[in-house]
Structure 1
Amino acid sequence: MKDLFSTDAANYATYRPGYPSELFIYLSNLAPAHELAWDAGTGNGQVAARLSSYFKNVIATDISKPQLAAARKVANVQYLEMPSEHTDFKDGSFDLVTVAQAVHWFNFDQFYAEVRRTLKPGGVIAVTGYGLLRSTEAINNAIDELHNEILRDHWEVERKYIDEGYKTIPFPFEEKSTPVFEHSCEWDLNQLLGYLATWSAVQHYIRSEHTNPVSFIEPALKAVFADQEKITFQFPILLRVGTK
């Protein structure tokens, strides 16, 4: 698993979007029991904290110590610094395994072998994430310019899986059809700029070009926000669900 986000853990915890409540209700209803869930590649624990309302206990793992340090502390969530591809969990431990906005960084074969080993019979794996944010036409045009043109040569190759909606990742499980989910939020300009700054390609660009690429589209974004404090944004939720 690649670690691209340790150096920006605080901003990642502050500015990354969440997931809709309907998603967690759906996954909870699919799980054969609600004793123990594993959130792999948990980052700042966004998903793990939400799962804690539906499962007796949650184990959340990541290889990034700074990300785990920034995670929200919840009584029934245990955070462990551990690679998702090599764990010391017992066979047949989990009712649900989730991985959110991270599976594209994993070694698929090794991670899925761990999932098969550690899921209970009938247990559920859910690979989720979110696609490119959408809003007004003017904002979409600016975001597309940043994502597709300015940062074109700075994305990690694994980013293609996000752009393809996780439809092209390997998924060796008995797959279920899933509902369509979307996360909606209202952000001011600073929240939008903060989120864009967490993109891995933005950080790569800054390191190689010594300039923040978000600054190239900032004037267009400021113009949109000139007459309104907050604007609504939608994130399409990516989701693949399967059973052992």
Structure 2
Amino acid sequence: MQPIDRFSGHADLYAQYRIDYPAELYDFVLSFVRNRQSAWDCATGNGQVAGALAAIFEQVEATDISETQLILAVKKPNIHYQLSPAEQTPFPDHTFDLITVAQSLHWFNISAFHQEVRRVAKPGAVIAEWGYGLVKIGSDLDPILLDFYRNRIGPYWDPQRKYIDNAYATLPFPFANAQRAGFIARRTWSLARFLNYLRTWSAVRQYIHENEEDPVNGLGEELKSIWGEEERELQFPIFLRIGHV
């Protein structure tokens, strides 16, 4: 099965408008990690996680199936980027102390990826998988966004989106000492900034492709009178699962 690439076509938007992750998440993950020599960030996208790991690990390997994303990724001297699917990598056996995958696991062949994790992880290494669900923008606007998410662009989501909606609860995680945790990423954004974030959604891109119009424009008009001119605090609910290989 060919890996699914839904993000090369708008990698510039993705790099500008996708969120990064809070320090609390990294602190939690690192509390499980004994050695900090080598980390692999799988499906790195624009290198958000790889960039954070580079401040902690001696060497970071970061892979993705999108060459466009990798061209735009964060550059640091101890990050090595390369094109590779999640399920079959060029790495030697028993290489990594930590393996991370953020907001991407649902696109993988899960069993094949976990088999690859077992191959490239050092004994006792840590695997951390996380993602984030539908953003909260306030009780006055959340119902409008939910209607857009479910009804206006709902038919354009890939089937894998259901795994995000249920916080990976139904995806296998065959690792020792498995734990789950939750975090909140808080951002203060203008309406324009928020609308550009929505334009990074794969379902929005598919809607535009099929209908030759941007559904976010209409949503923006609907939100404008309630949002106002001020910036708003948004909350992105992050779910994480972690274990030892």
TM-score surpassing 0.5? yes
Q: C-alpha displacement at 1:57, in angstroms?
A: 1.1
Q: Which runs of 5+ in 2 are unaligned?
A: none
Matches within 5 A, 1:189-204: 189-204=191-206
In structure 2, the residue corresponding to 1:211 is in which secondary structure? coil
- Aligned equivalents of 1:139, 1:81: Cα separation in 2: 39
Q: Within the alignment, does 1:239 sit opposite 2:240 as a pair?
A: yes
Identity %: 42
Q: Provide the residue aligned with 2:19 in structure 1.
A: 17
Q: C-alpha displacement at 1:35, in angstroms?
A: 0.2
- Aligned equivalents of 1:98, 1:224: Cα separation in 2: 38
- Aligned equivalents of 1:237, 1:116: Cα separation in 2: 25
In structure 2, the residue corresponding to 1:30 is in which secondary structure? coil
Q: Within the alignment, does 1:55 sit opposite 2:61 as a pair?
A: no
In structure 2, the residue corresponding to 1:170 is in which secondary structure? coil
1:149 to 133, 148, 151: 151
Q: Provide the residue aligned with 1:138 in structure 2.
A: 140
Q: Provide the residue aligned with 1:122 in structure 2.
A: 124
Runs (4 or more) in structure 1 with deviation over 4 Å come to none
In structure 1, the residue corresponding to 2:155 is in which secondary structure? coil
- Aligned equivalents of 1:227, 1:48: Cα separation in 2: 35
- Aligned equivalents of 1:60, 1:127: Cα separation in 2: 15
8 Å CA contact 1:45, 1:60 repeated in 2? yes
Q: Provide the residue aligned with 1:27 in structure 2.
A: 29
Matches within 5 A, 1:1-244: 1-228=3-230, 230-244=231-245
For residues 122-171 of structure 1, the C-alpha deviation after alignment (integer angstroms, 9 at most, x for no partner) is 10000011111002122212210111110121100001100011111111
- Aligned equivalents of 2:90, 2:229: Cα separation in 1: 54
Q: TM-score, normalised by structure 1?
A: 0.96
- Aligned equivalents of 1:113, 1:92: Cα separation in 2: 12
- Aligned equivalents of 2:21, 2:173: Cα separation in 1: 22
Q: Which runs of 5+ in 1 are unaligned?
A: none
Identify the range of structure 1 (170-179 vs 11-20) with the bigger mean alpha-carbon deviation: 170-179
Question: Given residue 162 of structure 1, which amino acid in structure 2 is its aligned partner?
Answer: I
Q: C-alpha displacement at 1:216, in angstroms?
A: 2.5
Q: C-alpha displacement at 1:106, in angstroms?
A: 0.6
Q: TM-score, normalised by structure 2?
A: 0.96
| CA RMSD, 1 decimal | 1.1
- Aligned equivalents of 1:47, 1:218: Cα separation in 2: 30
- Aligned equivalents of 1:152, 1:63: Cα separation in 2: 25
